[in-house]
Amino acid sequence: MSVPQGAKFLFVIVPIFIAATILLVVIYVGNDKDNLNLTEEDMNNITTNGSVTNPVEDFDELGIEIVKEGSGLEAVVGDTVVVNYEGKLTDGTKFDSSFDRGTPFEFTLGENRVIQGWEEGVKGMKVGEERELKIPSSMGYGDYGVGSIPPKAGLIFKVVLVEIR
């Protein structure tokens, strides 16, 4: 019994086509892993189910610690305040500092132009006072984060009130 010419074509070409398709998929998937741009730290934070864990912690509520007492009137809603600050993640990573820039930051309390943790944490400060603010993500950058601040990250700020205007 002889095999028709068209059937020989199917027995040869179809397996080659399937093998080539599988090879292309393997190459594509392999290259895709290389293009993830994960750092070694990211790789260490990957859990067994394949998701990336959040390496920083969050806080349950706003924490305010007076490190150094100030003097004079307290800052209230409507006051323009001038502060120097340093912001860090809970793992100690510094993400911003007016001290490093050499330029204090100015904002008006109650205008909601800063994160809620600053609105509440700076209110009541006196000139010269230094506070450490432990800000939960719900009063910071929330579920999305911003820039180098990851989602759901608690923030730690050293804040010094320079002036009330």
Task: Output the pLDDT for position 47.
Answer: 45
Neighbouring residues of 80: CB distance < 8 A, sequence distance ≥ 6: 106, 107, 108, 109, 164, 165
Question: In this predicted model, what pLDDT tens digit does every residue of 25-37 receive, in sequence order?
Answer: 666 665 554 555 6
Q: What percent of the chain has pLDDT over 90?
A: 66
Question: In this predicted model, what pLDDT tens digit does every residue of 40-58 receive, in sequence order?
Answer: 555 555 444 444 555 689 9
Q: What percent of the chain has pLDDT over 70?
A: 70
Residue 46, number of CB atoms within 10 A of its CB: 12
Task: Output the pLDDT for position 22.
Answer: 74
CATH architecture type of domain 63-164: Roll (3.10)
Question: In this predicted model, what pLDDT tens digit does every residue of 95-145 receive, in sequence order?
Answer: 999 999 999 999 999 999 999 999 999 999 999 999 999 999 999 999 999
Task: Output the pLDDT for position 51.
Answer: 47
What is the phi-psi region of residue 4: left when phi exceeds 0, alpha when psi lies from -120 to 50, beta otherwise?
beta
Long-range residue pairs from 65-69, CB within 8 A, at least 24 positions apart, any chain: 65/131, 65/132, 65/134, 66/129, 66/130, 66/131, 67/130, 67/131, 67/132, 67/158, 68/128, 68/129, 68/130, 68/160, 69/126, 69/128, 69/129
Neighbouring residues of 58: CB distance < 8 A, sequence distance ≥ 6: 90, 136, 137, 152, 153, 154
Task: Output the pLDDT for position 18.
Answer: 76
